[in-house]
Structure 1
Amino acid sequence: MNPLEQLLAAKLKEREAAGNLRSLSIADGKADFFSNDYLGLATTGLLNNIIKDTYPEAGGTGSTGSRLLSGNNAEVEALELTIARHHGAEAALVYNSGYDANMGLIASIGHRHTTIIYDELCHASIIDGVRLSQTQNTFKFQHNNIADLSNKLQSHSGKGPLIVITESVFSMDGDMAPLELIAALCTAYNAQLIVDEAHTTGVYGHQGAGLVSALGLQDQVFARVHTYGKALGCHGAAVVGSATLRQYLINYSRSFIYTTALPVHSIRAIACAYQYLTSTAYSAQPLHDLIAYFRHSITERGITGFVESTSPVQAYITGSNDTANHLSAQLQSAGLQVKAIRSPTVPKGAERLRMCLHTFNTHEQIDMLMGVLGGQ
């Protein structure tokens, strides 16, 4: 084994000894409480049926190049107009994934004299975007803590452009950001607000337009990132904002410029997902009814350890990797697919089971899950 592989092997052994070695697994037909397919568009085949009905002929297998070379086409530009209209924005730009969108957006707009203040629980893609930016002044504010954010804005006001970044619903805890209060602070300090709407697209707002739209804050948010690999059941993402921002990203966002564009069949899948959101078939109410049943079951059984959440993401704190692994194995044995989220993905002491609810889950499946957790 060469010196580099020796180093890699040693790092893997460290992970294994700590009980947090990651590995790939294949879903095996158990009840799904672990995917992000909140509306069931991917699992049930509903989106695939819409695609087949709308586009009888298959789309191309590859886009052949980046958007600035041979990968641009009329379909993706039409889709971007649809996305912008749907979310009440002037313009939109499609990226290959939510990770690419967050990273490309933040890294490109952060300059030497810019100050970025972001929630301490923001997604890794946001953190990587901050790290890759030229911004020297970057600060975390305590999770959803308006007083801490206000203090940091006050401290850095007048020292150059201010950017505040948060998620509308957080991916690990499932709780919501106090967007109205954050937006008001940003207005007061002339800060530009960026909101990652990954877990609210398709779930909140009129026709699933997201939490920013549901709260009527479109004009107070500089940029939103909507992703399509969760409730919309396909792949890709878009940054929505002003026409100036779109043009800037086309010129400066490296994760947009230097990558092969999404193929036509992916563009069509996103277009069909938006077609579904605007149809009479769409409703997020069954999902919200299921969330209410889940939370009622927690209270009724007196189960402690759950993070407060009214979103499809529900977190049960175990406090250690070993306990999280043990409970996950118990749930798997009961026919329930629930994954342990271990440190360092979450901070030490905040290890958990992360459960996602979907329109296709049943009360009986939730009762089984509560039965296992209630027996602890």
Structure 2
Amino acid sequence: MEGLPKKLQKKLLDREESNALRKLPKQTDLVDFSSNDYLGFAVEKKLFDKAHQILVEKEIHQNGATGSRLLSGNHQLYIETEAMLTKFHNAESALIFNSGYDANIGFFSSVPQRGDIIFYDEFIHASIRDGIQMSNAKSYKFAHNDIEELKTKLLSLRSESKSQQEVFVVTESVFSMDGDSPDLKTFVDFCNEYKCYLIVDEAHATGVFGDKGVGLLQELRLEDEVFARINTFGKALGSHGAVIFGSKDLKSYLVNFARSFIYTTGLPPHTLATIQSMYTELKTTSEIEKLQGNIQFFKQKLKTVNLKPLFIDSNSAIHCCVIRGNENVKSIAAEIKNKDFDVKPILSPTVPLGKERLRFCLHSYNSDEEIAEVLELLATFVSK
């Protein structure tokens, strides 16, 4: 049998020629400025042991869910964990999905209906875009964080339409490739005024913002003003899976119509126990305070080494230095790696052409010395 079809071979060759071919990396012992493990929970042995202890105390000895949640997989830990999440995040209901990707494609492929409209930020996550493409609704992007362009497009479409469409507006509380945030209060007010349904992805805000890491919407006391929140457990929580918060009716609808929920095996009990252990830790941890301190130190150091103009403004754990060209950004990332720091280059087409960047992910366990050294190194490389 021959290898790949010629069309697929050409696509791979095109990627290679543009210096954008992806390859799976090997694990390293470099200083971590690349992972989403913002609080260090993913590698904390105490939390690993706590998850195991939950299973022991509940006499749970099964390795898998045994089926989808609608068949045999809705084990007791699901019920307990969703109840815990509902209380922690001040929500009416919670529905756990196997991943953030599953949550986003499940929601956006099933909730907006034919004839409805979806407006989405141009920098929205790929999983949301994929879900929107699976929907029967019409979709339109608006300029990043630009509420005025959103308003113009909405009013234009409504003036042309003779029927009353449901309108969904989608944004993120922290954008994964820029690290910045929209004015969420303005988006809430806009959606209330124009009777739109607001959906906010909080993947990179959970565990970083708000009291005990509740997220940016709760920090701003806006959680009751949105139609749906999507939080994930694979970033600051250090585990896996995601949850959609909304009304009880929305949960019932997703259970009945979200295909990525219906037609997949549930998460194993160990994953749910891990999520419980992580949330228990959030209630007492000092790691969020340490992370916030590192974010402020990083921003101050940018000024002292004259790098601030190259960085996208951010108050989150994600900070991006824009360096044009895949070859340039990969070369600088390699030089930093040779000095034992793991900082990932983000290439086009993942980001727009000309907006290639180094993405620094900050953690509670990064030291001041590590932050200062990596930025001083970067300053020497970009000045060449």
TM-score of the superposed pair, with normalisation by structure 1: 0.96
Contact 1:59 1:265 (C-alpha < 8 Å) held by counterparts? no
Task: Kindly indicate whether residue 265 of structure 2 is the aligned counterpart of residue 260 of structure 1.
Answer: yes
What does residue 19 of structure 1 align with?
A: 19
What does residue 111 of structure 1 align with?
A: 113
What does residue 132 of structure 1 align with?
A: 134
Q: Deviations over 1:255-310 (max 9, x none)?
A: 000001101001111111111122x2355111011001001010111113111111
What does residue 66 of structure 2 align with?
A: 64
What does residue 141 of structure 1 align with?
A: 142
Contact 1:207 1:282 (C-alpha < 8 Å) held by counterparts? no
Distance 1:3 1:44 in 2: 43
AA at the equivalent of 1:124: A
What does residue 305 of structure 2 align with?
A: 301
Contact 2:68 2:262 (C-alpha < 8 Å) held by counterparts? yes
SS in 1 for 2:5: helix
SS in 2 for 1:42: helix
SS in 1 for 2:327: helix
Q: Equivalent of 1:350, from 352, 355, 360?
A: 355
What does residue 42 of structure 2 align with?
A: 42
AA at the equivalent of 2:292: H
Q: Equivalent of 1:84, from 80, 83, 86?
A: 86
Contact 1:115 1:156 (C-alpha < 8 Å) held by counterparts? no
Quote how far apart the aligned CAs of 1:3 are.
Answer: 7.6
Q: Deviations over 1:41-86 (max 9, x none)?
A: 0133342133244444675221110000111112101111111111
Quote how far apart the aligned CAs of 1:156 are.
Answer: 3.6
Quote how far apart the aligned CAs of 1:16 are.
Answer: 0.6
Quote how far apart the aligned CAs of 1:92 are.
Answer: 0.4
Q: Equivalent of 2:319, from 282, 294, 314?
A: 314
Contact 2:52 2:270 (C-alpha < 8 Å) held by counterparts? no
Q: Equivalent of 1:186, from 188, 191, 194?
A: 191
SS in 2 for 1:82: helix
After TM superposition, the structure 1 = structure 2 runs for residues 79-228 of structure 1, keeping only pairs within 5 Å, are 79-135=81-137, 137-157=138-158, 159-228=164-233
- In the alignment of these two chains, the number of paired residues is 374
Contact 1:250 1:256 (C-alpha < 8 Å) held by counterparts? yes
What does residue 76 of structure 2 align with?
A: 74
AA at the equivalent of 1:302: N
SS in 1 for 2:200: strand
Give the 3 Å change call, closer, same or farther, for CA 282–250 of structure 1 in structure 2.
Answer: farther
Distance 1:46 1:225 in 2: 27
Quote how far apart the aligned CAs of 1:27 are.
Answer: 2.1
Quote how far apart the aligned CAs of 1:10 are.
Answer: 2.1
Contact 1:107 1:129 (C-alpha < 8 Å) held by counterparts? yes
Quote how far apart the aligned CAs of 1:117 are.
Answer: 0.4
Unmatched 5+ stretches in structure 1: none
Contact 2:287 2:364 (C-alpha < 8 Å) held by counterparts? no
Distance 2:226 2:141 in 1: 19
TM-score of the superposed pair, with normalisation by structure 2: 0.94
Contact 1:196 1:226 (C-alpha < 8 Å) held by counterparts? yes
Q: Deviations over 1:161-219 (max 9, x none)?
A: 11000000000000011100001000000101000000011111122111111111111
List structure 1 runs of 4+ shifted beyond 6 angstroms. none
RMSD: 1.5
Contact 2:323 2:358 (C-alpha < 8 Å) held by counterparts? yes
Q: Which moved more, 1:154-163 or 1:189-198?
A: 154-163
Contact 1:202 1:277 (C-alpha < 8 Å) held by counterparts? yes
SS in 2 for 1:180: helix
Contact 1:118 1:141 (C-alpha < 8 Å) held by counterparts? yes
AA at the equivalent of 1:30: L
After TM superposition, the structure 1 = structure 2 runs for residues 245-256 of structure 1, keeping only pairs within 5 Å, are 245-256=250-261
Contact 1:321 1:343 (C-alpha < 8 Å) held by counterparts? yes
Give the 3 Å change call, closer, same or farther, for CA 145–9 of structure 1 in structure 2.
Answer: same
Distance 2:219 2:17 in 1: 46
Distance 2:354 2:45 in 1: 38
